[in-house]
Every structure is written in C-alpha cells, then in structure tokens.
C-alpha cells in the first residue's frame, strides 16, 4: 500500500512538473514557433515503425561525376569546404607494375586545384600519362549501422537510431564533444564549426520521410545509388540485395552497416 502511494505521489509530481514546464514554455514561446516545432520533425503522418530503410551502392556503375556530392552539399547545407562531407567518392587506380592502388577523393588538394574551388568537385586527370591497369570509383556515406558506435559513445544521447534504421542527430542537444566523430570507423562524421555540433549523412531524412529519394540517389545519372524500404520486398533496395552478392564496409567492426555494396575491391575499406 505504501509503495503504491509512493508511486502515485511520484506520478502526480511528474505530471505537475510537466504542466509547469508546459506552462513556462507556452508563456515564453510564440505560438508560431511552437507550431513549427511540433510539425517540422518528424514529418507529420510519418510512422517510423513501418519502414526499414537501406541503401545500396553499385560501385561498378559509378563514373565519378560527383553530382551526388554537389547535390548533397546543397540539399543539406553542408559547409562548402574540402573538409566537410556527408557523402564523398573515392577513386582507386592500379597502375601497371604496382601492387597497391593509388587512392584519392575529390577532396584531395590536387583535385581541388583542378576544379579551382573548394565548392566545386571533380577528379583531375592525374593519371593520363600513366598505364592504368584497373580503376574504379567508390561512393561513401554514413552506413547507418545496426550497432552504431557513434550512438554508443554519445554522452548525452543527442545522436540516436530511429526505429526505421536511420541514425539521427539532435542538433539542439549535441554538446559538440566530437566523441562520435572519433568513434566512427568510416570517417562519415564531421564537426560543423559554425553550428558547434557534429553532423553526418541522414539519407536525407527530411526527404525520405516524405516519400522522396535521398538527393544523391536522385542526382546520380547512372543509378549507382539505390535506396528503399527493406520491408517492401519489391523496393529497389530489396531487389538490389536479393539479386546481388553484397558486401559491407569493415564488417569486422561488428557495426553491421546498412549500406550494401556491389563491386568492391579488397583494397576498399
């Protein structure tokens, strides 16, 4: 009996505190802001328990045009530098007589010099005089891991895994310690110095929850990027995973990524 009394007292206290909090919020915040906050995120009507998003990359199709990178930068207001990316493309080039590939990305100083600006991306034709044995591109992005180490290490729970599988960041709660940046083995996270918070790819969460494709998928001219709902057996991603022998990056970490690759080479990590 005593225990029940204590519990109900606790409940009453919590309710009271919640009411006070609500009243304080109502008093201090204009109605417009409250309405916007209630409706902006997550997308109204979107049920994250119904979806299981996944991403596919067919590296054999990528031509390194970097439209995906540009689309992502614009869509997600990623700082326009050569050091902050939600998605990027890597180039692997095997030259004749060499055992290891030469690897670079569009962020490499040589490639930035070729484009003439940190805001525009292209791969410089740096191997035109060499004998290339094998070469390919590999797009990279956040793997939205099943067991995300970034979520594990966040000291305040500002980054979390949504029910639909996407790892999100609450920018209003992030303290900017950058432990998540350190914990990600894929280098998928960066720190936004102006906002003072960590950031990374969310598969364009604001788009996919409205039934749209991520910006990079939409911008890709060759269909190297595939996105969809694994709960739907006929979705592009379900077909991609079912019809191909797929691979994930750094499987030994136990993170269980949700970006599935086709056409990887042993040197890609």
Partner 1 sequence: MEPFIHYAPYTGWVYPNETVIEWSVAIVVYPYITGLVAGAFTVSSLYQVFGFERLKPVAHLALLTSLCFMLFVPLPLLLHLGHPERAFNNLLTPHWTSAMAMFGYFASFYIVLLLLETWFAFRPHIVGEAQKRKGLSGAFYRALTLGSYDVSEPALRHDRKWIFWLAIAGIPGAHGLHGYVGFVFGSLKSREWWSSDLMPLVFLFSAIISGVALLIVLYVVSSKLRKTPIDLACIKGLAYTVWAFIMVAFLLEGLEFANIVYKAREGIEMILAYVTGPLLIPYFVLQFGVGSILPLLLLSYMIWRGTTGRALIVGVTLSACLVLLSVFMMRWNVVIGGQELSKTGRGLLSYPLQVFGKEGLISALWLVVAPLIVLLGVTRLFPPWEHKTAP
Q: Which residues bind partner 1 (CB under 8 A)?
A: 81-85, 88, 103-107, 140, 149, 151-158, 173-179, 181-191, 193, 195-198, 253-254, 269
Residue 148 CB neighbour total at 10 angstroms: 24
192 DSSP β-pair partners: 197
Of 268, 217, 181, nearest to 53 by C-alpha is 217
Q: Which residue has the tokens 């996407």?
A: 166
Residue 56 CB neighbour total at 10 angstroms: 24
Task: Compute the distance between CA of residue 186 and CA of residue 123 in angstroms, rounded to an integer.
Answer: 21
What phi, psi does 57 have (nearest 5°)?
-130, 120
Q: Which tokens sit at 64?
A: 């390194």
Q: Which tokens sit at 154?
A: 């966040």
Please state the closest distance from residue 241 (CB atom) to partner 1, in A. Answer: 25
Strand, helix or coil at 198?
A: strand
Exposed/middle/buried for residue 254 (C-beta within 10 Å: 0-12, 13-18, 19+): exposed
Task: Compute the distance between CA of residue 20 and CA of residue 28 in angstroms, rounded to an integer.
Answer: 12
Task: Compute the distance between CA of residue 47 and CA of residue 44 in angstroms, rounded to an integer.
Answer: 9
Q: State which residue, 144 or 198, has the beta carbon closest to partner 1.
A: 198
Of 89, 126, 127, 86, nearest to 107 by C-alpha is 89
Number of H helices, E strands in the chain: 9, 10
Please state the closest distance from residue 243 (CB atom) to partner 1, in A. Answer: 30
Please state the closest distance from residue 233 (CB atom) to partner 1, in A. Answer: 33
Residue 64, CA atoms < 13 Å, CB-side half-sphere: 17
Q: State which residue, 178 or 206, has the beta carbon closest to partner 1.
A: 178
């Amino acid at each position: 009996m005593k225990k029940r009394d204590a519990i109900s007292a606790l409940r009453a206290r919590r309710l009271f505190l919640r009411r006070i909090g609500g009243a304080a919020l109502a008093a201090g915040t204009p109605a417009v802001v409250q309405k916007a906050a209630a409706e902006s995120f997550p997308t109204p009507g979107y049920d994250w328990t119904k979806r299981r998003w996944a991403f596919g990359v067919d590296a054999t199709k990528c031509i390194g045009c970097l439209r995906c990178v540009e689309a992502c930068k614009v869509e997600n207001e990623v700082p326009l530098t050569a050091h902050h990316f939600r998605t990027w493309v890597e180039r692997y080039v095997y030259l004749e007589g060499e055992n290891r590939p030469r690897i670079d990305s569009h962020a490499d100083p040589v490639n930035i010099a070729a484009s003439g600006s940190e805001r525009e991306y292209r791969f410089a034709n740096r191997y035109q005089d060499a004998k290339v044995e094998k070469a390919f591109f590999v797009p990279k992005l956040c793997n939205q891991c099943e067991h995300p180490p970034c979520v594990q290490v966040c000291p305040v729970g500002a980054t979390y895994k949504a029910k639909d599988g996407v790892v999100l960041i609450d920018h209003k709660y992030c303290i900017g310690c950058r432990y998540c940046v350190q914990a990600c083995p894929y280098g998928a996270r960066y720190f936004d110095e102006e906002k003072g918070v960590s950031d990374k790819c969310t598969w364009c969460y604001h788009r996919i929850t409205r039934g749209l494709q991520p910006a990079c998928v939409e911008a890709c001219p060759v269909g190297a990027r595939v996105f969809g709902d694994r709960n739907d057996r006929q979705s592009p991603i379900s077909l991609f995973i079912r019809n191909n022998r797929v691979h994930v990056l750094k499987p030994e970490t136990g993170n269980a990524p949700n970006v599935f690759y086709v056409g990887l080479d042993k040197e890609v990590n």
